[in-house]
Amino acid sequence: MAISGCGKRVVQAEPAPTEAQPTALPSPTPAADRVMLVAPADSDPVITQDADTVLRELAASSTLEFEKREQVLANEITADIKVMVFLNQPDNLGSLAAGAPGTQIVAITDQDWNPGPNVTIIRRREDHTAFLAGYLAALLAPNFRVGALLPAENPAASLAFVNGVNYYCGLCASVIYPLNKYPVISTQPAASPAATWQAGFDAINANKINVLYVTKEAVSPELLTYLASLDVAMIGSQTPPAEGKPKWVATIYADGITPIREIWEDLLAGKGGKVLNAALKITDNQYVTVGDGLVWLSQGKLDYAQKTMDLLQDNYINPLPVN
């Protein structure tokens, strides 16, 4: 007991507190690069939907985000926008491109414009559309009985239409009565009322028309209601109002979106400065029976027309005479 009472008491030292280590925070994920479609509210819904579908697909295949807007301001074109597509050329395209040199801009336009290094122009050529309309009308019309309602202010489009008809059938003379040469055309001021366009059609229909090209300037519910009541099939360059659909066999429009597929890799690589022709597309295809026979763009005829569309796009056909 004496010995144990004299022993030293051992006090165990408590461990020194350690400082808490800060928890590492995750680094913010950088925003993905983008593809932007600018489609104004008044854009053709068919063309807007085509653009939406194609650009979403291309963006996904390139690991880019897709965004669609009706308009965009210059200060909204940031460095993460790799490709921007305008369904209609903006008035300030030059300044937009200069302020965003790292963005490749594609503008679909009717204008003849000289692009800078980060701009690609895809031209909708009205002479191409008119030429194809003439070609398609002759391809479809029994006995080549082709007519057109065209604006007086655009003689080049009228000439391109006639050339398209002649490209398909040469002299284009009917072989049964009435023995007429085609096409027959009525030109009216673009702002003419429906009654004027109707009178113009009645005058040329004295020669018996089986397929009529109705230019967008002439299209109205009143005129199409009248035409749909007659023995004539129609084609045009815009989706028709409901009044014309019973006798509507095809719509031709300029396709500025499909060519983007061909240049996509160049756009991603920052290569612009090109001018391309829009492709041509045919939609709203249905058959109509007229007194002289069936008007129908069968798959065989469509394949045949596609060859002409390709030649136009690649500049192997000039719709207008060379001066």
pLDDT in tens, 225-281: 999 999 999 999 988 889 999 999 999 999 999 999 999 999 999 999 999 999 999
The burial of 168, by beta-carbon neighbours within 10 Å (0-12 exposed, 13-18 middle, 19 or more buried), is given as buried
**Could you say which DSSP state residue 173 is in?**
B
Q: What is the mean pLDDT of residues 108-119?
A: 94
Give the relative orientation of helices 45-61 and 258-268 as an angle to the nearest 10 degrees.
40
Tell me what the pLDDT averaged over the chain comes to: 91
Q: How many CA atoms lie less than 13 Å away from 180 in the CB half-sphere? A: 18
Secondary structure class of 135 (helix, strand, coil): helix
Q: Which of 309, 272, 266, 317 is nearest to 121 (CA)?
A: 272
Q: What pLDDT, on the 0 to 100 scale, is given for residue 23?
A: 56
Alpha-carbon distance values, 235 to 55, 133, 163, 222, 267 (Å): 29, 8, 17, 16, 35
Q: What is the mean pLDDT of residues 5-33?
A: 55
pLDDT at 26 over 60: no
**What domains appear along the chain, each with residue ranges and CATH number?**
34-123 (3.40.50.2300), 126-253+282-313 (3.40.50.2300)
**pLDDT by residue (tens digit) across 182-194?**
999 999 999 999 9
- Taking the C-alpha atoms of residue 67 and residue 32, their distance in angstroms, rounded to an integer, is 12
Residues in the chain: 323
- Taking the C-alpha atoms of residue 38 and residue 310, their distance in angstroms, rounded to an integer, is 27
